[in-house]
Structure 1
Amino acid sequence: MIESNIAEFEDQNTWTDEIPGGAHTSFVMRRNTILRVIDLEGAANVVALFYNHDDKLERYNMADTLKAQHTAYLTKGLVCYSDMGRILCSITEDSCGWHDTICGMTDARQVHQKYGDKTYHNAHNNMHRNARDSVIVELCKWGMGKIDIVPNVNFFSKVFVDNGGDLHFKQNNSKAGDFVDLRFEMNTLVILATCQHPLDPNPNYAPKPIRITARRTSSAGRYDFCRMSCPENKRGFYNTEILFG
């Protein structure tokens, strides 16, 4: 069923690309487009950040996203809020069911301590990349930098908290072919890095590849599932739509 859904989606696509494990990319998704992110092999982790392309001082706000929707993770029917109370993107489909919002991304020190020393100097393209440096590289392409990094989404990863307050990473949360659809409600700069999750217990450096596919869609309707999922989202959609008349 998942493979048939992917094939049907890609028949309507505007563009598609594959991102290797340990790589990074950035691009603009326009309002009323959908980006499908597909885990090609299973156990992927996709670090994602979102910025209003028309005013990059407005960006994804993890705290507002969670408290407005009374959740600790993202899944179908939820949205990603900006720090201006507007909606950057909505999750319209999701075969995975849980996407981490609270654990951040790896940095150079973490990757070095966990996976060993493989830099471009001694390993060339087989170097060990970390998410923070990958994100900075992409931000610099748009006139931004490390000061613009905010708490990110980790698509396809599940982390839950036990009664004692300890974090637990669920291995193999995502299977090969799992996907998440992001419908963009404003023109959005998207930053992606396919680096392993900070809590991934795998002792080997083994980031997984993804495929991304974009297509056009219509605006969220009056009774859209994401709009109606909670009262706060109705206000978020209104705040966003008045930007576009």
Structure 2
Amino acid sequence: MATATTHGARDHARAQEGNRADAMPVVPASAWPDPPCAAGHLVWAETVAGGGSTHRVLARGTELRLTDLTGDACAHLLLFAADRPWERLNTADTVKVQWNAYLGEHRLLLSGQGRVLASVTADTSGRHDALCGTSTLVRNSRRYGDGSPQSGSPAGRELFKLAAAKNGLSARDLPPSLSFFQGVTVREDGTLEFTGSVGPGGSVTLRAEQDVTVLLANVPHPLDPRTAYVSGPLEVLAWRAAPTAPGDPLWEATPEGRRAFLNTAGFLASRGIA
């Protein structure tokens, strides 16, 4: 066969240049056909297949837009301070400090140090979850028959492990994650109700308030009642912008948020960053 030799394998690989799949990164990002920002500002453009994952380090001020293309995506998100992975997304503090268990526009994604890793600047979906985390190998193996990353039903935590390893992180570095595009609400008796998606085209835009490492796993929500493993494509676009500044309505929205921004600004100033 053509790939049985090193030369044959090389020629086969080189022949693929220029070919594109529906789900893959666009390199360079500026080649994306319809950027949501000024020309030349796009830094990340990718479509993540259902059951797939991705990762990227983003500079402070970068805006990141996630879009559920078909209504069946579920973007599980983890954030780490780029040069300090021990400062990471804390879902409990994100909920507790803001007195709200529901994610949406003007919410802040907080670290365990009381600082802002990212803020939510726009949201057309409203169906998100800060309570359940992502799926696990054991759960997916019981439910779908397999949860390994190479299977047809990979678990979110297994995909996070792979993305983490590519950023010098291990399984012990992975905290509970947030989920976008598949909603969960809390009933009066304290039990959880899965509310699903609003349908195709829902999007959420985040703004990095520090340099952050982003890990994304696009897998079904753990409470999704469908017996089949259903996961649609996720569009990921990021572009250069500016971080939230004093006087911005988001900075001044609540006393708790203002304190978190001040904590962040003070820390960055002490490092000569802001």
TM-score (norm 2): 0.81
- Report if aligned partners of 2:146, 2:154 keep a CA contact under 8 Å in 1: no
5+ residue gaps, structure 1 = 1-5
In structure 1, the residue matched to 2:199 is 175
Instruction: Tell me by how many angstroms 1:126 deviates.
Output: 5.7
AA aligned opposite 2:235: R
CA distance in 2, matches of 1:69, 1:80: 10
Say which is worse superposed, 9-18 or 215-224, in terms of deviation: 9-18
> Structure 1 vs Structure 2: percent identity of aligned residues?
33
In structure 1, distance between residues paired with 2:256 and 2:199? 32
Letter in 1 for 2:228: N
Provide the rounded CA distance (Å) in 2 between the counterparts of 1:77 and 1:224. Answer: 11
Query: How far did residue 119 of structure 1 move?
Result: 6.1
Counterpart code for 2:145: G
Tell me how large the CA RMSD over aligned residues is: 1.9
- The code of the aligned residue for 1:110 comes to R
Tell me what 1:189 maps to.
Answer: 213
**2:112 pairs with one of 83, 90, 95:** 83
In structure 2, distance between residues paired with 1:222 and 1:241: 10
Inter-partner Cα distance in structure 2 for 1:126 and 1:144: 23
CA deviation map 1:195-235 (0-9, x unaligned): 10000001101111101101111231323232122111111
- Partner of residue 3, structure 1: none
Q: For residue 39 of structure 1, what is the amino acid of its counterpart? A: D
- 1:118 deviation in Å? 7.7
Judge conservation of contact 2:51–2:231 (CA < 8 Å) in 1.
yes
The Cα of 1:162 is off from its aligned counterpart by 1.1
- Aligned-partner residue type, residue 77 of structure 1: H
Could you say which residue in structure 1 is the equivalent of 2:21?
none
Q: 2:72 — aligned with what?
A: 43
2:36 maps to a residue whose letter is F
Matching residue of 1:214:
238
Query: Which of 244, 253, 263 is 1:239 aligned to?
Result: 263
Q: Which residue pairs with 2:140 in the alignment?
A: 111
Superposition misfits of 4+ residues, deviation over 6 angstroms: none
User: Which of structures 1 and 2 has the larger relative contact order (alpha carbons within 8 angstroms, sep 6+)?
Assistant: 1
Matching residue of 1:143: 168
| Cα offset, 1:95, TM superposition | 0.3
Partner of 1:224: 248
In structure 2, the partner of 1:9 is: 36
Deviations 1:161-199 (A, max 9, x none): 11111111013x232111100000000000000010000
What are the superposed Cα offsets for residues 116-148 of structure 1, whole Å, 9 maximum, x if unpaired? Answer: 24868xxxx662211111001111112211111
Whole-Å separation in 2 of the counterparts to 1:221 and 1:153: 25
Matched, 1:132 2:157: yes
Report the residue type matching 1:72 in the other structure. Answer: A
Q: CA offset at residue 7 of structure 1? A: 5.0
After TM superposition, give the deviation of residue 8 of structure 1 in Å.
Answer: 6.3
Aligned letter for 2:191?
A: D
Instruction: For residues 63-103 of structure 1, give each alpha carbon's deviation from its aligned partner in whole angstroms, at most 9, with x where no partner exists.
Output: 11111111002100011001111100000000012320000
1:181 to 1:118, Cα distance in 2 relative to 1, 3 A: closer
Cross-structure match for 2:26:
none
Q: Could you tell me which residue of structure 1 aligns to residue 27 of structure 2?
A: none
Q: Structure 1 residues 140, 97: closer, same or farther in 2, change over 3 A?
A: same
In structure 2, C-alpha distance between the alignment counterparts of 1:168 and 1:85, rounded to whole Å: 29
CA distance in 1, matches of 2:103, 2:148: 34
| From 92, 95, 103, the counterpart of 1:66 | 95
Contact kept in structure 1, 2:208 and 2:243, CA below 8 Å: no
